[in-house]
Amino acid sequence: MLAQQLAALRAGRSPSVDYRWVPLEATSPHVQLAVVAAEDQKFPHHYGFDLAAIGDALDAAEGGARLRGASTITQQVAKNLFLWSGRSWLRKGLEAWLTLWIEALWPKRRILEVYLNVAELGPGVFGVEAASRRAFGRPAAALGPREAALLAAALPSPRTRNPAAPSRRLLARAARVEAAMRRLGPSWLRPLAAR
C-alpha cells in the first residue's frame, strides 16, 4: 500500500488506496476456502513452507520453464506486511526469516485473517472487504462460492484481472478454484481452529 502511494506521489497523482480491515469472522467462509484453494492448499498443515512446491518450481526452472511462484500464504503475509515487491535473494531471505517467526508466533487463523486484509485484489484495492464491495457491491461476509472464487482467481495478477468484469481466462481460473473448493470442502479449514 505504501509503495503504491509513494509511486503515485512521485508521478504527481493523488495517492488512492481502498482498504478496509475486517476480522476473520466478518468474511464469508467461502472467501477463506477460496483463497486457500487458489493460493495454498496445504496451508492448514504446513509450517510456513511448501517444500514440495518449492522443489517442483526449482525443477521446472532448471528444465527451462518460466519461473513460477511457490510461496505459501504465510510467505505472502511476510512479504506484503513487512517487505517490498520484486525478486531478489535478499528479499527472499528476509521473507523466509519472517515466515518462520510468523508461523511460530501467530495461529493459522491470524495468518489467514492478515492475508485476507493485506492482499492486493485490484489496482489500489487491498483486502477482501474493499475488493468485495468494489467488485460486487456487498461485504465480504455476504459472498457466495462463485464470487469468492472470482476474487481468489484474481490474486496472481490483481492489477490486470477484474472479478467485476471477468475475462474468459479469469472465469476459467475461477471455475478451477471452485472445483478445488468443492474437493477440499468446508472442513478443510477446521485445523485452523486448533492452531
Secondary structure string (H, E, C) spanning the chain: CHHHHHHHHHCCCCCCCEECCCCHHHCCHHHHHHHHHHHCCCCCCCCCCCHHHHHHHHHHHHCCCCCCCCCCHHHHHHHHHHCCCCCCHHHHHHHHHHHHHHHHHCCHHHHHHHHHHHCEEECCEECHHHHHHHHHCCCHHHCCHHHHHHHHHCCCCCCCCCCCCCCHHHHHHHHHHHHHHHHHCHHHHCHHHHC
Four-CA torsion 91, 96, 102, 105, nearest 10 degrees: -130
Confidence of residue 53 (pLDDT cuts 50, 70, 90): low
pTM: 0.84
Question: pLDDT (tens digit, 9 = 90+) per residue, 58-103?
Answer: 666 577 666 556 689 999 999 989 887 777 888 889 999 999 999 9
Grid look-up 520453464 returns: 65
Question: pLDDT (tens digit, 9 = 90+) per residue, 127-186?
Answer: 999 999 999 999 999 999 999 999 999 987 777 788 888 899 999 999 999 999 999 988
> For residues 175 and 62, what is the distance between their CA atoms, to the nearest angstrom?
30
In the chain, how long is the greatest CA-to-CA distance?
48
Structurally, at CATH architecture level, domain 28-188 sits in Orthogonal Bundle (1.10)
- b vs e for 153-179, b when ≥16 Cβ sit within 10 Å of the residue's Cβ? bbbeebeebbbeebeeebeebbeebbe
> For residues 112 and 143, what is the distance between their CA atoms, to the nearest angstrom?
17
Which of 45-59, 102-116, 139-153 is the least confident region?
45-59
